[in-house]
Amino acid sequence: MQIVVAGQGYVGLPLAVRAAEAGHRVVGYDVDRERVRRLIAGDSFVHDVPSARLRTVLDSRAYSATADEAALADFDIAVITVPTPLHDGVPDLNHIETCARTLGTHLRRGATVVLESTTYPGTTEELLLPILEDASGLKAGADFHAGFSPERIAPGNARWSFETTPKLVSGIDDRSLRVIKGFYDGIFQTTVPVSGPEVAELAKLIENTFRLVNISMINELATLTYRLGVDIWEAIDAAATKPFGFTRFTPGPGVGGHCLPVDPLFLSWKIREELGVPFRFVELADDVNRHMPDYVVRRITQALDQRGKTVNGSRILLLGLTYKINATDLRESPSTRVAELLTNLGAHVQGADPNIQDGDHTKLNVPLVDASEEEITTADAVVLLMDHDTFDLPMIGERAPYVLDCRNRLSGPHVETL
Ligand code: SAJ
């Protein structure tokens, strides 16, 4: 079939390449011309799509990348995988709206549009369909098919690959579900049909809300057990020996990434909008996580004070600036807030992170240095925010004059854990 995947990022590109490998003719559409240029050149910027794999589907002409709307004509199925950010706690669906208007002008009778972007329940039927109908003059259901299928990308996950992760699928009616399920059956090992788009939209948010709430609970507990003088890290490992009814989460300096700190707030926003009441767990979880950087700074302040030093004027080295272990992404990373707070207190803050991608240096609010023994030993305080595999953890633990270990990975004479 003729497929369009609109949005060629960490979700859209893997889907487009897999669909091309499954025998479809796929147009990868993106409004970012630089991104399209790189794709046409066979240069993949997505962890799970090696450039060699991209070049194979480019060479076979099964896949092509474009920023030109004309290439969207005559699609059988179009999948929307555009970003859905939050701005000051309010969902920003502009990318979906713009993309829907563009696809709507090329929508033909009998074609299908699937939304994959994470959003609040009701978006597919209340926002997407009217735009598609308005732009095409067609009627959803009667003239074209539509549905929602959430993404479950776990970059670098060794256990679950893109194809083996079960895929929720939904349609606005039975015919839409049949077409959409048929498409994804050719790409994923398992598809899971649900009764409608709202269920699929909500399921995705439940998945990430579950994580956010549990991470925030363990974060808050860490701040309390420290004062109780009980080792939460050992207690978590002990709890994790329970083979059922427990999922292991560990404390950290905050919750980063473009999923967890964002997706659940789509749900709490919608609930407040529709019902005028809070989704308290999400609002509390967000508050706890957003104050973890403040807690990290309090611990550093206390440690320096115990050494007769003040934050003001101290050299502080932050290790691991991206949002999670071994990630390259800086989005919503708690390190940014930690650096800002320490700088505001007059510290001389530097950062070390070998995972920072070329060009991302400009997004940092700290100068970058190597995590060398010299940098470690000349700092007044070191903070291990992300325990990347690239760090020499034994050296850091042994040589740091003081290190706050936010990941419980270090041992040494002056190590404190979060
Ligand atoms: N974090 C903790 N403690 C934990 C787990 C995570 O502090 O026990 C922090 C991480 O350091 C990071 C943030 O939370 O800053 C988010 O971590 P994450 O492991 O949830 O990773 P993400 O943001 O890449 O989440 C994505 C999600 N995938 C999708 O939305 C499709 C999530 O549902 C996946 O479970 C997760 O990847 C994954 O497991 O890879």
* Per-residue model confidence as pLDDT tens digits over 368-415: 999 999 999 999 999 999 999 999 999 999 999 999 999 999 999 999
Q: What's the pLDDT score for residue 157?
A: 83
Average pLDDT score over the chain: 96
- The set of protein residues with a Cβ atom below 6 angstroms from ligand 1 is 151-154, 157, 207-208, 211, 215, 249-250, 252, 255-257, 259-260, 323-324
d(CA 391, CA 3): 43
Atom 5 (ligand 1) nearest CA = 249
Q: Judging by DSSP bridges, how do beta strands 191-193 and 315-319 pair with one another?
A: unpaired
The reply to whether 25 falls in a domain is yes
Atom 26 (ligand 1) nearest CA = 154
Q: What's the pLDDT score for residue 364?
A: 84
Q: Is residue 34 very low, low, confident or very high in pLDDT (cuts 50, 70, 90)?
A: very high
Q: What's the pLDDT score for residue 313?
A: 97
Q: Is residue 331 very low, low, confident or very high in pLDDT (cuts 50, 70, 90)?
A: confident
Instruction: Give the CA angle between residues 102, 103, 106 to the nearest 5°.
Output: 105
Give 184-212 pLDDT, tens digit per residue.
999 999 999 999 999 999 999 999 999 99
Asked whether residue 177 falls in the same domain as residue 38, the answer is yes
d(CA 333, CA 342): 15
Q: Which of 215, 247, 289, 330 to probe ligand 1 with, by most ligand atoms within 8 A of CB?
A: 215
Cα-to-centroid distance, 406 and ligand 1 (Å): 16
Q: How many separate domains does the chain show?
A: 2
CB atoms within 10 A of CB 174: 9
Asked whether residue 162 falls in the same domain as residue 301, the answer is no
Cα-to-centroid distance, 260 and ligand 1 (Å): 6
Which residue among 150, 184, 202 closes a domain? 202
Domain containing residue 333: 291-417
Q: Which of 151, 161, 211 to probe ligand 1 with, by most ligand atoms within 8 A of CB?
A: 211
The reply to whether 33 falls in a domain is yes
Q: Could you tell me how far CA 317 lies from the centroid of its own chain?
A: 26
Q: Is residue 152 very low, low, confident or very high in pLDDT (cuts 50, 70, 90)?
A: very high
| pTM for the full predicted model | 0.93
Q: List, by residue number, the catalytic residues.
A: 259
Cα-to-centroid distance, 336 and ligand 1 (Å): 18
Atom of ligand 1 nearest to the CA of 156: 40
What is the CATH classification number for the domain harbouring 152? 3.40.50.720
Q: What's the pLDDT score for residue 302?
A: 97
Atom 3 (ligand 1) nearest CA = 250
d(CA 167, CA 189): 8
The answer, yes or no, to whether residue 155 has pLDDT greater than 80, is no
The answer, yes or no, to whether residue 176 has pLDDT greater than 90, is yes
Q: Which of 21, 20, 29 is nearest to 2 (CA)?
A: 20
Q: What's the pLDDT score for residue 111?
A: 98
Find the mean pLDDT for residues 291-317. Answer: 98
The answer, yes or no, to whether residue 89 has pLDDT greater than 90, is no
Q: What's the pLDDT score for residue 105?
A: 97
Which residue among 162, 187, 202 closes a domain? 202
Which residue among 159, 187, 202 closes a domain? 202
Cα-to-centroid distance, 255 and ligand 1 (Å): 8
Asked whether residue 142 falls in the same domain as residue 12, the answer is yes
Find the mean pLDDT for residues 251-262. Answer: 93
Phi, psi (5° rounding) for residue 290? -70, -15
Q: Is residue 365 very low, low, confident or very high in pLDDT (cuts 50, 70, 90)?
A: confident
The reply to whether 219 falls in a domain is no
Do residues 318 and 337 touch, judged by C-beta distance below 8 A? no
Q: Is residue 328 very low, low, confident or very high in pLDDT (cuts 50, 70, 90)?
A: confident
The answer, yes or no, to whether residue 161 has pLDDT greater than 80, is yes
Asked whether residue 296 falls in the same domain as residue 191, the answer is no
